[in-house]
Structure 1
Amino acid sequence: MLDFSGKVVLVTGASGGIGSQIARDFARCGATVVVHDFGLPDAAKALVKELGAKTLLVDGDLTDEATVTRIAGEIKAKFGKLDVLVNNAGASPNKMPFQDLPANVWDKVININLRSVFLVTQACLSLLEQAGKGRIINISSTAARNGGAPGGSAYSAAKGAVSSLTKAFAKDFCSKGIHVNAVAPGLIDTAFYGNVNVADKYAERIKGIPAGRVGAPSDIAGPVLFLASPLADYITGEVIEVSGGLSMMA
């Protein structure tokens, strides 16, 4: 098991399926976890209760600069540093034809998936530098490379930018001792796809996945923890697709 004792980790959007699993696994490996979500849904409160004393719960809209500055200030006041930042917060609207996509919906998707990464990273950069060997892991998507499903142009565009930004950050922050990578999930069984049985709804798509199954949140959390660990000290600027082999088929 990896050891993150003494490390402070911020996971944004931590009440969702992938975010909560990442938070759990870091806590299980000894880290102090800063659990973020907007509006503090019951799932976020339950997660903090589950993880125990070594957590800090923070609330706020990550598309708002003042809010993000306040959250970074809370982390600084409590811990004085940040070792790992996981930019996981994201959202996608119901899919719709591009010609019917309202500009305000486009802006919302770009803001939560991309602007939040910019703002949170910028606000936390000095804390990551203070920690020494800081690590940033962005959660992108295979849609960044393949354009995603029809009707998902805003989401795929935002995640494409996140993947590109990962490489730009890696170049900019390497001199500060900060490594930046991304994990790009494929089809993962979470509420992201709505209140449905993912295996049933996407049965035909799953037939094309070489691994023969839909992914689980733990399949994403594992690579995230690896990238945050000393095992990945020579890795930066990479986007690791986790799709059960589907990426090599398309």
Structure 2
Amino acid sequence: MNIDLTGKIALVTGSNVGIGRAIAIALAESGAKVGVNCLRSVDQGEETVAAIRAAGGEAVLVQADVTDLAQIDRLVSEVERAFGGSIDILVNNAGHLVQRVDNAGMTEEIYEKIMNVNLKSTVFMCKRVLAGMKAKGAGRIINMTSIAAHNGGGPGASLYAASKAAIMAYSKGLAKEVAFSGITVNNVSPGFIGNTRFHDTFTTDEARKATVAGIPLKREGTPEDVAGAVLYLVSDLASYVTGETIEINGGLLMR
């Protein structure tokens, strides 16, 4: 069964590189018109848009900080204006560890950065698109949690893990709140996904090898592995799935 998203308008935050880019491209390949978002790296965002257009898809790039409510409003408005309709599919991919810091070294500034980029952005992006989805009586929201939400994360990542656990709980509550409007809300929870800025920045080669050695499937995940789960959740195949989390970790954590 082919997943057909023709006529759907999708918005993927943080989709200039890595997992977000793979999701944006996969949605476009299935027929969706895709809003691509970046914070600073406009050139990378343009590369994502170019890849989509080269394959015959439709995409528009909007630079915006999804921790800022005014910019969230502008982001959604510009994507909807570009494609002539309200958002059907929202993928809250934007997020960041920010930096590894133990609790003894935690500051209010670091706390706010981590919680804002992960939890705040998710909450207020959801809020911004809900009116349009409710008016249509349909919508798909995918939030990004992490294996860290289950195991507390690696060294210096306890607050990042907490923010991802909060997203998981928030998504369940939101799923109940909007189910009567035909909107589903689900999470994807990546484990060790290679070819991403996250591990290029925060994971040593030694830690990478040790982690892969403990993965039953004996490989790193890919951004495309995550994109495949997202495609399922936004399609009609998952019309009776809401409030759930799909773990994408090669068996590293089984629940």
- Pairwise TM-score range, normalised by the shorter structure: over 0.9
Equivalent residue for 2:249? 243
SS of alignment partner, residue 57 of structure 1: strand
Residue 181 (structure 1) aligned with residue 199 (structure 2): no
How do 1:47-86 and structure 2 match up within 5 A?
47-52=48-53, 54-78=58-82, 79-86=84-91
Instruction: Could you list the structure 1 runs, at least 4 aligned residues long, displaced by more than 4 angstroms after superposition.
Output: 195-201
Change in Cα spacing, 1:95 to 1:176, as seen in structure 2 (3 Å) is same
2: CA distance, partners of 1:126 / 1:74: 16
Residue 184 of structure 1, CA deviation: 0.3
Equivalent residue for 1:111? 116
Which structure 2 residue ranges, 5 or more long, are not aligned?
Answer: none
Residue 57 of structure 1, CA deviation: 1.1
Shifted more, 25-34 versus 48-57: the winner is: 48-57
Equivalent residue for 2:149? 144
Equivalent residue for 2:237? 231
Shifted more, 240-249 versus 103-112: the winner is: 240-249
2: CA distance, partners of 1:180 / 1:248: 22
**Contact preservation (8 Å) 1:182, 1:238:** yes
**Contact preservation (8 Å) 2:148, 2:164:** yes
**Contact preservation (8 Å) 1:83, 1:132:** no
Aligned residues: 249
Equivalent residue for 2:96? 91
Change in Cα spacing, 1:97 to 1:195, as seen in structure 2 (3 Å) is closer
2: CA distance, partners of 1:210 / 1:196: 23
Residue 27 of structure 1, CA deviation: 0.8
2: CA distance, partners of 1:44 / 1:50: 10
Change in Cα spacing, 1:231 to 1:164, as seen in structure 2 (3 Å) is same
2: CA distance, partners of 1:97 / 1:67: 31
TM-score normalised to the size of structure 1? 0.94
1: CA distance, partners of 2:21 / 2:6: 19
Shifted more, 73-82 versus 13-22: the winner is: 73-82
Residue 130 (structure 1) aligned with residue 153 (structure 2): no
2: CA distance, partners of 1:50 / 1:240: 27
**Contact preservation (8 Å) 2:217, 2:250:** yes
SS of alignment partner, residue 47 of structure 1: helix
Residue 144 of structure 1, CA deviation: 0.9
**Contact preservation (8 Å) 1:82, 1:130:** no
Q: Deviations over 1:211-244 (max 9, x none)?
A: 1111111110001010000000110000111110
2: CA distance, partners of 1:195 / 1:92: 10
TM-score normalised to the size of structure 2? 0.92
How do 1:14-29 and structure 2 match up within 5 A?
14-29=15-30
1: CA distance, partners of 2:202 / 2:120: 29
Which structure 1 residue ranges, 5 or more long, are not aligned?
Answer: none
SS of alignment partner, residue 202 of structure 1: helix
Percent same amino acid at aligned positions?
A: 39
Equivalent residue for 1:31? 32
Residue 51 of structure 1, CA deviation: 1.1
Residue 77 of structure 1, CA deviation: 2.7
Q: What code does the residue aligned with 2:247 have?
A: E
Q: Deviations over 1:82-115 (max 9, x none)?
A: 1100000001123122101222011101000000
SS of alignment partner, residue 215 of structure 1: coil
**Contact preservation (8 Å) 1:199, 1:206:** no
SS of alignment partner, residue 101 of structure 2: coil
Q: What code does the residue aligned with 2:105 have?
A: D
Q: What code does the residue aligned with 1:11 have?
A: V
